[in-house]
A and B are shown apart, each in its own frame.
Chain A
Amino acid sequence: MISRRNFGKYSLGAGAATLWLPQGMALAQDGTRPTLTIAVDNLWANINTINGISTTTRRFFPNIYSHLVERDYIADEQGLALVPGLATEWSREGTVWTLKLREGVKFHNGETMTAEDVAFTLGPERLWGESPFEPRGKTFTAGFVRVEAIDDLTVEIETAREDPYIPGKLTGYIGFVVPKAAYLEMGVDAFGQAPIGTGPYRVTLFRSGEVLEMEAFDDYWGGTPPAEKLIWRIVPEFAGRMAGLVSGEFDFIANIPTDQEAQLASYDEVIVARALAGNYPAFAFNTRPDPEDNPLVDVNLRKAMVQAIDMDAIVQALFGETTFHPPVPFNFPEYGDFYDPDMVNPLPYDPEAARALVEASGYDGQVLRWHITRQFYPNYEAAAEIMVEQWRQIGVNVQAVILDNFELVYTRPYHLMNMSMSTDFIPGDPYQPLWLDWGPTASRSTAHWKTWDPTPEYLAAGKEFEEAVEFEDRKAAYLKLSQAWQDVTPGYYLWKSVYNWAHRADIEFVPRPDGEMRMFGDYMALPA
């Protein structure tokens, strides 16, 4: 077959061919370390660790920034094992956590990381004060009352109540450390365009709608990065990403439509990698009398609709054995010791029981509008079609309305909606999403589009849960809180999301459930 290389040779002659070759390939052959090109469906507007939160930024964040505490997915596929990152030790005394920092860590601008930088990263000025630079930080720092640099390599975090899960929280977005002086000097917006971290690669070019380029940072505290340069290029069309990977233009591609995986896997030069993501797509019932005649205010109807869904069959049909449906809400494997694999599902698939509940609700056949964001989750619309049919079988009339963006989804009237249910997990703890995502400060119960009002029982159980420190107390409170949520059933979790990637067959790559593409360490090995 004619290949790109011999086409160049035939048409232009060997000397001129290199001028015509795509830039990435030429660069890859020049240095001792290769350039890796990763074709992605999207980047994001900025690379701030909090203002820039998104699935697309999470892919490349750890190549730029390092976490204070790391989740080890090599040793434990659930990532429940915490290992040192920029913090080498952590200990708690009452409400105060003390972090000991790694010595000699350099930022990309050559400055040495100190406790002042970490205190600023986690502090009120940036995340949780009156008017912080990155306001979403408040969500992740609830309960913080003091963050202070004690000496060059020691930081204290004080919380309003005893919080045993601070190290777990530091494995998330708030745990990425930024340099205080550079951040303040540049300002949050400029910093988001030219970020500085302590990770293995330094950003050299960022055009948010087009490309992100990084080069190896050889002073990286974790050792020399394996690639000379990383190019994250937006290729919106999947056919382009696939063709580019197969033909050797790209080394990695991200986000493969489920129905295209088999086709891609059929090429010898390509490996498809998958990871079950720590994220469960869901839909929410609008439990509030808005619109006034909303029949879903009756819990019987909501429970009927849950019992009418044969989600195991849907997941099997759409994903095969790749993923699973969590039968009991908030009984996720990510909860570690809180997870009970034998927990009985109180609302199993049972069309007869569902019909009885519909009868009890007095539902009169009114059309229920289900607002769905187009192509937000793979297979969501396909599953919705099946669910609509299953609901029709029990006499519930649902109309799936596919809309272009969340803003339209959040526009009333609606009876059901898909939310951006990013069920980020704090390792081994049910705090999120059970309390943080549905509690009294969550957008689901406060925003103009809110779908439920937390009940007194839920709030009381939540308070108990927040105050509990010992495992047994916390588990009892968690079960009570979960029950209070299920008594209302304001939503339904569908399946565990699947992230997928494909890469050159001669590269070894370990996919992570958090979607991170770590181009370093134990997560990637290039051919010798």
Chain B
Amino acid sequence: MTRFWLIKLLRTIITLWFVVTFAFIVLRTSGDPVVALLGADAMPDEIEHFRELWGLDRSLFAQYISYIGQMATGQFGNSLRDSRPVMDIILERLPATAQLGLAAFLIAAVIGIPAGIVAALRRGRLTDRIVMVFAVFGFALPNFFLGILLILLFSLYLQILPSSGTGTFLHLLMPSITLATFTAGTLARFTRSAMLEVLEKPYMRAAAARGVPFWQRVLFHALPNAAIPIVTVIGLNLGQLVAGAIVIESVFAWPGIGRLLVVAVSQRDLAVVQGLVLVIAVTMVLANLIVDLLYGLLDPRIREGAK
């Protein structure tokens, strides 16, 4: 068991090292951050002054070594853009993204999983077709487009929801629905196919023969057995929630880390981008770890196998 966890930990560290190194290489070789930050009319003197100030006049290797050292010790430094500590900036934005992501996740789960179950139970009928049409629509529709449509409908025409920003429950509605649409569609499709597979199993027929009521069979026999693929999709879609937030936060002016990342990348604010990449990578690794643990909880065979 200890070996199992050590291997997992080592794999996590290698993943994180790979991610931060990749971020470093891409950012340092795709343009001069000083020019991006100072603007097009900056004088050569000015560019030199800031390059020296930010340590960008050192060799790429020297910068990399100090960068890895900072990452390893959790010192992200100060933003090149506004000189504030990177961690403060990220922590300031993280709750907004977490709030949006959580709301979107709940909406997606509450809509997507029951819709998938109903579609599976009504396989081939009109209900199934309607659910699947909406599911395909949900994950095929670009979320920035959906977001703009919602703004035009609910803010401009009906004037019942605020168009952007944060602060009240009403502000959360449109961004979270927009962000949830893709995940809800995906969950509905996967839940449906997982349920269909389980509903054919002999133990389902046996339960029916024993006289177990219909909804009890669905909720306590079929659903737990269909849960592994659903949990896997949920885990994968946590990443989609972060990626989607980059677009949604821009459309709705939601002050989270998605928008912070867009601004930081476009302005080559290396320190902030590096900090964000690490935070997002850690989030993803943790999400995958939680999914792994859930497998064990959901399926005794996996749990027993680990022992």
Q: Give the interface of A toward B (CB within 8 A).
A: 1-4, 7, 19-23, 39, 45-46, 53-54, 131, 135-136, 138-139, 189-190, 192-193, 207-211, 233-237, 239-244, 246-249, 373, 404-408, 410, 419-420, 422, 443, 446-447
Contact = CB atoms under 8 A, between A and B. Distances in A.
A404 B262 CA distance: 13
Contacts of A54: 39
A228 B128 CA distance: 57
Residue among B31, B158, B163 with most chain A CB within 10 A: B163
Contact of A135 (B46, B163, B167, B171): B46
Given A208-B82, A247-B159, A22 B168 contact: yes
Interface of B: 31-32, 35-37, 39-46, 49, 81-84, 92, 147-148, 151-152, 155-156, 158-165, 167-171, 250-253, 255, 259-260, 263, 266-267
A233 B166 CA distance: 11
A20 B170 contact: yes
B257 to A, nearest CB: 11
B159 to A, nearest CB: 4
B144 to A, nearest CB: 8
B28 to A, nearest CB: 13
Given A21-B168, A138-B45, A447-B44, A239 B152 contact: yes
A207 B250 contact: no
A180 to B, nearest CB: 20
A136 B158 contact: no
Residue among B32, B39, B84 with most chain A CB within 10 A: B39
A115 to B, nearest CB: 28
Contacts of B163: 235, 239-241, 243-244, 247, 249
A210 B156 CA distance: 22
B31 A405 contact: yes
A135 B49 contact: yes
Given A135-B46, A138-B45, A244-B164, A407 B31 contact: yes
B36 A407 contact: yes
A207 B170 CA distance: 23
A420 B39 CA distance: 9
A4 B159 contact: yes
A235 B165 contact: yes
B162 A244 contact: yes
A87 B211 CA distance: 94
B161 to A, nearest CB: 8
30 contacts: A1-B158, A2-B158, A3-B160, A4-B162, A22-B165, A45-B37, A45-B81, A135-B45, A138-B45, A193-B84, A209-B263, A210-B255, A210-B259, A211-B255, A233-B165, A235-B164, A235-B253, A237-B164, A239-B163, A240-B151, A240-B164, A240-B253, A244-B164, A247-B159, A247-B162, A406-B35, A407-B31, A420-B39, A443-B42, A446-B44
A360 B80 CA distance: 51
A1 B160 CA distance: 10
A45 B46 contact: no
Contacts of B35: 406-407, 410
Nearest to B36: A407
A285 B84 CA distance: 40
Contacts of A45: 37, 81-82, 267
A242 B49 contact: no
Given A45-B267, A240-B151, A407-B31, A7 B84 contact: no
Contacts of B158: 1-2
Given A136-B42, A239-B151, A244-B155, A4 B160 contact: yes
Contacts of B156: 239, 242-243, 246-247
A22 B255 contact: no
Contacts of A46: 82-83
Nearest to A137: B46
A422 B41 contact: yes
Contact of B43 (A19, A22, A135, A249): A135
B92 A207 contact: yes
Contacts of B170: 20, 22
A418 B228 CA distance: 55
Contacts of B255: 207, 209-211
A76 B84 CA distance: 42
A20 B168 contact: yes
Contacts of A210: 255, 259
Contacts of A20: 168-170
A239 B251 CA distance: 8
Contact of B49 (A3, A39, A131, A241): A131
A1 B40 CA distance: 48
A267 B42 CA distance: 41
B253 A234 contact: yes
A420 B32 CA distance: 17
Contacts of A53: 39
B83 A190 contact: yes
Given A237-B253, A249-B164, A373-B40, 13 more contacts: A4-B160, A20-B170, A21-B168, A22-B168, A22-B171, A45-B81, A53-B39, A135-B49, A189-B83, A193-B84, A208-B81, A240-B151, A420-B41
A239 to B, nearest CB: 5
A3 B159 contact: yes
5 cross-chain pairs, A with B, having the tightest CB-CB distances, nearest first: A420-B40, A243-B155, A189-B83, A243-B156, A243-B163
A373 B161 CA distance: 35
Nearest to B49: A135
Residue among B36, B156, B171 with most chain A CB within 10 A: B156
A116 B150 CA distance: 55
Nearest to A234: B253
Contact of B260 (A4, A135, A209, A446): A209
B281 to A, nearest CB: 21
Contacts of B159: 1-4, 246-248
Given A2-B159, A20-B170, A243-B151, A443 B36 contact: no
